[in-house]
Homo-oligomer: A and B are copies of this chain.
Amino acid sequence: MSGSQTLSEAFKQAAYPVGGHGARDIQVLKQAIAEAPGNTASDMYGQGKVIEDFQSKMAAYLGKESAVFFPSGTMAQQIALRIWCDEKGLKRVAYHPLCHLEIHEQDAVKELHQIEPILLANKDRLITLKDVQVLEGEISCLLLELPQREIGGQLPPYEELEAISAYCRDQGVRLHLDGARLFEITPYYGKSAAAICALFDSVYVSFYKGIGGIAGAILAGDSGFTEQSKVWKKRHGGDLISLYPYIISSDYYFDQRIGKMEQYYEEAKELAAYFDGLEGVSVLPEIPVSNMFHVHFKLPEEQVVPILVQVAEATGVGLTNWLRERETGTCYTEISIGDRYAGVPKEKIRAAVRLLDEKMKEAMK
């Protein structure tokens, strides 16, 4: 078994996994559709009550005129950028170097849409107003990801966000929100999703992160924008005859969990604090601003895997099922708090953290 398989296996066996809502298995679907009447009609190529009702509900929640359900955020976001580029007649956008479009989509925005992305800021920090000002408006759209997932889920101060939004409007630059984890940041900002979205021309949200659904995304904006997005959705092959398995489950888990974002955020801060002062371990951001954070280890993956396996086996606490090597010879993982955390006894967490500290000290000698 490879190191990552060993860790994944130990996590699966652990009595107390700290992150997530639960296993990603068919039960998630079974539960979501259990109470839906069998004669509920399927959506048909983007039409019908099941899709239209959910789109209206999300448009209202996000404070936008209109919303369209997509099978994936990858599809929704490329399309948003394409529409804004076509509007201005300029195929240039800007986003963070660790943006999902830059690192997880096989250069789709370039290969499928011939859009040139300009990378702002750098891999260690957030985009600031100054970064945007340097462009002097010579882009069609700026994409901001809130929180910036690949650097631990960091957020700019709200005032900075407002300033960037005002600047973009002034410059005729569209502002798009990668809100894959938008629901999760509302407690930190102390703002409604609609208030945050009001700063943006278009917004994407996901239903399988904090919401814990199966898959699916919403793209929202004014109705001129969303009507165009439906044409591109068909072109991408995303206008399926039936999207209801994703819609019904997204709606079900949205209702179940949208009220728990404050709880997940508080729990993330609590768990992150347990790692304070541990030898060779640090947390990013130091104090979480959503339900997520990264844990960095000052040792290579191959040395940290056996430690985390031991912790899981000895204490029953599964801290994570993966580690990612960094160029610096260190490694890190990501923890996202969901329903599971509330069921983990505090003494178990303390025991796990103590053992982690001990083993890291030994290994760092």
Contacts and interface: CB of A to CB of B under 8 A. Distances in A.
Interface of A: 23-30, 33, 36-42, 44, 70-76, 78, 105-108, 111-113, 208, 214-215, 231-232, 234-246, 248
A245 B25 contact: no
Contacts of A73: 237
Contacts of A78: 237
Given A26-B42, A38-B25, A38-B30, A238 B240 contact: no
Nearest to A73: B237
Nearest to A246: B245
B26 A36 contact: yes
Nearest to A26: B40
A357 to B, nearest CB: 32
A242 B33 contact: no
Contacts of A214: 42, 241-242, 244-245
A241 B26 contact: no
A46 to B, nearest CB: 12
A235 B72 contact: no
A237 B71 contact: yes
A44 B24 CA distance: 9
A71 B26 contact: no
Given A42-B214, A214-B245, A239 B26 contact: no
Given A24-B242, A26-B37, A245-B214, A76 B106 contact: no
A208 B23 contact: no
Given A214-B245, A242-B24, A242-B215, A108 B236 contact: yes
A39 B27 contact: yes
A106 B37 CA distance: 34
B39 A26 contact: yes
B26 A74 contact: no
Given A33-B29, A241-B208, A242-B215, A236 B42 contact: no
Contact of A26 (B44, B107, B248): B248
